[in-house]
Each structure stands twice: as C-alpha cells, then as structure tokens.
Amino acid sequence: MTNTRDIGHWIDGKPFTGTASVTAPVTNPATGQITGQVRMADVADVRTAIDAATAAFPSWRDTSLAKRTAILFRFRELLNARKPELAAVITAEHGKVLSDALGEVTRGQEVVEFACGIPYLLEGRYTENASTGVDAYTVRAPLGPVAIISPFNFPAMVPMWFFPLAIAAGNTVVLKPSEKDPSASLWLAQLWAEAGLPPGVFNVVQGDKTAVDELLVNPAVKAVSFVGSTPVAQYVYSTATAAGKRVQALGGAKNHAVILPDADLDLAADAMVNAGFGSAGERCMAISVAVAVGDVADELVAKIAARTRRLRVGDGLAEADMGPLVTAAHRDNVRGYVESAEADGATLVVDGRDVAADDGGTDIDVSQGFWLGPTLVDHVTPDMSVYRDEIFGPVLSVVRVETYDQALELVNANPYGNGTAIFTNDGGAARRFQNEVEVGMVGINVPIPVPMAYYSFGGWKNSLFGDTHAHGSEGVRFFTRAKAITSRWLDPSHGGVNLGFPQNT
C-alpha cells in the first residue's frame, strides 16, 4: 500500500484530483497486489468535467475539418509509435497477456484511422434551384458534450470504438472508464494532449454509479455510449433516454459456435480454444458455447481438450497463453459456475480450478493472483446456469444436438444476440445460417466476428439497447444529427406578405 499510485481524473487538458475523498483499490491480477488507489468522482467532480466539455464545445465545433483531421492523424501516429507502452499499462491492471493487449490497441487504432476520413463521412447533400431561386441542402451537425461509459475488459479498445468519431465529428467527450483498470484512459488523455487536442475536448472521470448517474441525467450531456452487462445496459438506456438523451447501450452476450459434421474439426478446435479462452474469456465476443451437431461431438471435444491442456496460464507480462481474471471476486464467481455445472451433471473434461500459474521465470510471486484455468464442460443442457448466464470467464460449454435445425433453434432461442459462428465446408449451409440466425454479428469459419472499423459493431435482442451500433457509418450518424437548410439569396424585394403555406414553384 505504501507504493501505490494515486490515480485521478483528466479534466480540461490536465490531471485533476477532485474533491471526493473516496478511493477504490486497483490491483495487479497476476499477483493480487494493490498497485493504486483510484479516486471515485462525486457529483461535483463529474459536473466539473461536463462543464469543461460544454465550454470547449463551441470552439471545437467551429474548428475546421482540416484542423480536426490533422490532430486525429497526429494522435494516430503517436498511438502507433507507442502501442507497446499502452499494452503494458493494460496488462498490469487487467491481466490479459501482452500480445492480447497489443491486439486490443491495434483494433482500437483502426477506428482512429477510420475517423481520419471524417471530411468524407460528414458529406451532406445539395440541391440547387429546388424551387425558383431556392437551394436546399443538409449538413451533419455535432451533438455537443457526449459521455462514454466503458467496461474493464477492453480499457482502450472500447473507448476507441466511440471517442475518435465523436471528436472527429466536432463533439466533446467525458469518458468514465472502469474503476478496475483506470490508467489506460489517462494514458490516452495525455496522448490527445500531445497530439494538440484543445483542453476540454477529451475528459476522463473515474468513479462508480454516482459518476454514471450524473452523466445519464445531466442536461448538458447530449448522448451516452455504453458497453457492459445487460442489466446495466438496460438501466443506462432507460435512465438516459428518459432524460432526453440519445443512447447506444451494448449489453451482454452468450455467443454460440455451431460445428456441423462436415467442418474441419482441427480448425474448429483451434477456434474454440482461441475464442473461448483468449483474455481468460473476458470478452463480449468470446465463444462460450460450442454446439456440436450430429456425431462430431466426441472427436471435437477430444481435440479441444488436447489443445486446452497445453495452454500455459501465467503472468501476462511473461510468456503465457492466458492470464488471470481481473479480480478475486470475479474469479470466485466464475468458479461457482464450474461447481454448479458439476453439480448439475455436466462433465468436466478439463477442470481449471486448480491451475498452477507460471511466473514465466521472472521470480514474480503469482501465488496470490486471481487464477482460474481454461475449463471445458461437456454434456451441458440449456437448463443449466453454466449455459444460461453470461459467465465472462474461461469456461467453454459443449451442447450436443442432432441436426442443424436444432442448433439454429438453440441459438435463436437465447435471449442474447451479440455474436455467433458456424464451422462448415458447405457454402449453402453457411449462407442459410447467416440468413436465419437472429444475431447481430456472424462468423463463417471465423470464431470472433468483430467487424472492421468501417462496419458497425453491435448485437440484437438483449445485447443492444438503442437503434445504433458502434463505429462505422452508424457511429458517425450517432454522433451527429441532420440539419436541413433551405436558402434563398435575392434582391431586397422579397415579394410582399403572404400567409399561405410555402409552395415550390
């Protein structure tokens, strides 16, 4: 505790301590050591950030697209040069292995690169002489201050789904990151300052529900982007829309992968391990259910198990395949699902509860880390809690069905609709699946179908509240609103008084 860092906020272009005295511990999940105390904003602190964003908005809105784009390009170049530095910050607080953290930053950078094309993305329409001497045109106008509330599992990538487009379009931002891994957001704020972003355009407030609630109801905040669990997404959506705000709230997931009898089982087994256990399963796009169709289940499970047993679990800064879970409480919660599956009669093919963590030869004491190894559970049925709930941990369930139709029915009956995948060598089956499945993002022989930045990211059903997905053209539309303008430039004689409804002539 004596060497812990004081982690504060970033408001109006500089670090901000705030008035609140409440803090929360930040840990290194690999060691269990408390490495920092993050300051939890009170209402006054959040209002200070909102006031800074409000004051900065008029000037930033009126900044030319050329200057905005130049700052975005500088931010992109700085980020590209220093990605390993940000990845290390993420690993130290989240626990994911360094290569995974670097991948997260790279995927976030893709949205920055997409936002660099904002002059084209904001193009309006123009009609000359729509009526005699009258021109009509549309522009995309920024909203004002917007809030981003992001989760612990992607402390860099998820905020970067939103703030590059928000800022490029002329909005100002207040980001509320997870209190579990708050330092990446401050690192990004400093990078924006180095890129030349004016003070107040990008602000960071640390905190919990107190901070969130103020962002949801404060009238100066015009829109809210959220990623997290479904219950919280529902709360964010209902609260913020009731306050008159535009909202995109991305919720939870229970992603299925359907493996048909004609699939390449080696490819499918590799994919299940990668998508099920990468980042310790703490991904909203993780595959948590493998649906084995027909007679492939025994061979598929054997192949997954063989690969799973070879995984090395350890400190993310060392040579490991999978790191720890983010907190001890979360680790214990995931363990509870494994115990429940066993009690419900499922088969624990690989049990990760007694995993021995590897320090990677670093002599770092990992004995108190938040460890749970990759766990493979077979003969799972839809009535089991290990199937019903979003576990957000390294637990892969195998459900056995006889036919494609049964697999499709299983996926479509699930209340979540974030991502799904199908593994097959039959193009007709794949095309039928992409048409019939009720899920927002579909992979064909691709286990984690996260779209590129120029396509939208978002699910269906209880995985999304609101009409607009993240990034892509939908992101541009979310952070702007249309303004239709009708213009006439004539001589001083305007034709006299006429109370009739305007007509085009």
Q: So which residues are the catalytic ones?
A: 284
Give the CA distances from residue 422 to residues 306, 391, 409, in Å, rounded to whole numbers and listed in that order: 22, 21, 14
* φ/ψ of residue 183, rounded to 5: -75, -30
Residues contacting 81, CB < 8 A, separation 6+:
none
What is d(CA 141, CA 124) in angstroms, rounded to the nearest whole number? 10
Burial readout 265-301 (b: 16 or more C-beta within 10 A, e: otherwise)? beebbebbbebbbbbbbbbbbbbbbbbbbeebbeebb
* Alpha carbon 471 to its chain's center: 10
420 near 257, Cβ under 8 Å? yes
Q: What is the dihedral of CA 208, 5, 194, 10, to 10 degrees?
A: 30
Report the alpha-carbon distance of residue 170 to residue 442 in Å, rounded. Answer: 32
AA identity, residue 116 = C
Asked whether the beta carbons of 460 and 251 are under 8 A apart, the reply is: no
Nearest-CA neighbor of 83 among 91, 72, 71, 95? 91
User: Closest Cα to residue 372, out of 327, 325, 304, 338?
Assistant: 325
Burial of 229 (0-12, 13-18, 19+ CB in 10 A): middle
Angle at 253 between CA 249 and CA 256, to 5 degrees: 145
Query: What span, in angstroms and rounded, lies between the C-alpha atoms of 40 and 207?
Result: 4
